[in-house]
Amino acid sequence: MANLLDSIKEYVTPELIGQAANLLGENEGGISKAIGGLAPTILAGLLDKSGDSNALGNIFSALSKFDSGILGKLGSLIGGGNLAQGDPKDVSGQFLGSIFGARIPAITNAVAAFSGTRSSSVSSLLGMVGPLVMGILSKKINTEGLNVSGFANLLLGQKNNILGALPTGLGSIIGLADIGGSAGKSTATNTTGNRWLWPLLLLLALGGALIGYMKYCSVQSESLKVEAPAPIVTPAPVPAKPALNFTEGSQEAAMLAFVRDAGAAIDKNKWFDFPEIMFDVNKATLRPESDIKLAAVLAILNEYPAVKLRIGGYTDSDGNDIANLKLSGERANACKNWLIAKGITPERLEAEGYGEQHPVAPNDTPENKAKNRRISFSVRAK
């Protein structure tokens, strides 16, 4: 049986890693390590669902319908926007959301700490690795004619490989159950698993001797009422959050400064305008170049989980007022859905369209109208 992780690695070429590193502003080693952490994490999430027949059936159905042709154009998924109707990044985002739910931000941060990359970069990589894993599994399901049971056996048969590649701490974040029970464990696995027993017995013996000695000392010096000092427990180091580096003077830098400023009070009239978030003409379809600014907002939300945002959509004064109001609301919700697909929980976001209200410039020139066609963000909690 082919190793799933090896199949995935075949598609992660040096050229793909270099392209991702260049687009995301990371070093190639960090990108490679992040991808190496995300792939087994996704497979481990699938493993965790193997004991739930309903969940596994839905997963199998989604995978069997997924277009494995995306494996030939993975580079287009790095930092790109909607590729077409049924965009594989959106399909993958919904798929991963059904597996991990609200744990995606924690997973993203953990892989970022593991790989030494920014959480925003890991989030972008997830938009590529998700479809990559789905494409590999879809190809295997359809070429080998697997049914749900065969798919479950495929995952369980590679449990040791998957969990062995999982970065430290990811298992507890995913909430892995006792996958597959004990029946599938080999003698070698059990022997390896028992290696902890002798050190534990030795520690228990030393602990018992220490307790006996302390009781003896307590009896001998009872008149002095001397108590044994409490052991000093050194807390485990907390991994540092990756720094957010935004261009000075940009709206994302201003939003980040506001979030970080404890003295800056929440003001419903304070908005951060992002005219660079663009859509197809007269549609609510995000253009690919919009991902850069949305990814910056996503990074702030991932770094500061208490932050809540209101998303406002605006148009210029051309056209019908009612149609403009409707379109602006659809565009605001498109940005909200983009962030939710990347792992932000819906309760942290609200969206509303304002049409041609609140212009930031006169609607008298094409340049000024472009300024008024914008998406804005207002921080409502931090």
| DSSP, res 270 | -
Largest CA distance in the chain: 94
Domains of the chain, by residue range, sit at 4-178, 251-381
Superfamily of domain 251-381: OmpA-like domain (3.30.1330.60)
Evaluate whether 125 touches 104 at the Cβ level (below 8 Å).
Answer: no
| pLDDT (tens digit per residue) in 146-158 | 898 888 888 888 8
Instruction: Give which of 7, 8, 26 is closest to 17, Cα–Cα.
Output: 26
Phi, psi of 272 (to 5 degrees): -115, 115
The residue written with tokens 């209101």 in the block is: 310
pLDDT at res. 239: 42
Please provide the DSSP assignment of 173-209 as one string.
HHT---TTTTTT--HHHHHHHGGGHHHHHHHHHHHHH
What one-letter code names the amino acid at 162?
A: I
Half-sphere exposure of 242 (CA within 13 A, CB side): 24
- Is the whole model's pTM more than 0.85, yes or no? no
Evaluate whether 342 touches 123 at the Cβ level (below 8 Å).
Answer: yes
Sign of CA dihedral 31, 37, 40, 41: negative
Pairing of strands 349-353, 272-274: unpaired
**Cα(57)–Cα(360) distance, rounded to whole angstroms?**
51
pLDDT at res. 212: 58
* Ranges of the chain with pLDDT below 50: 80-85, 178, 180-194, 223-226, 236-242
Instruction: Give which of 67, 87, 65, 62 is closest to 76, Cα–Cα.
Output: 87
**Cα(179)–Cα(239) distance, rounded to whole angstroms?**
28
Instruction: Give which of 139, 6, 133, 138 is closest to 74, Cα–Cα.
Output: 133
**Cα(228)–Cα(75) distance, rounded to whole angstroms?**
62
CB atoms within 10 A of CB 344: 24
Q: What DSSP element (H or E) covers 305? A: none
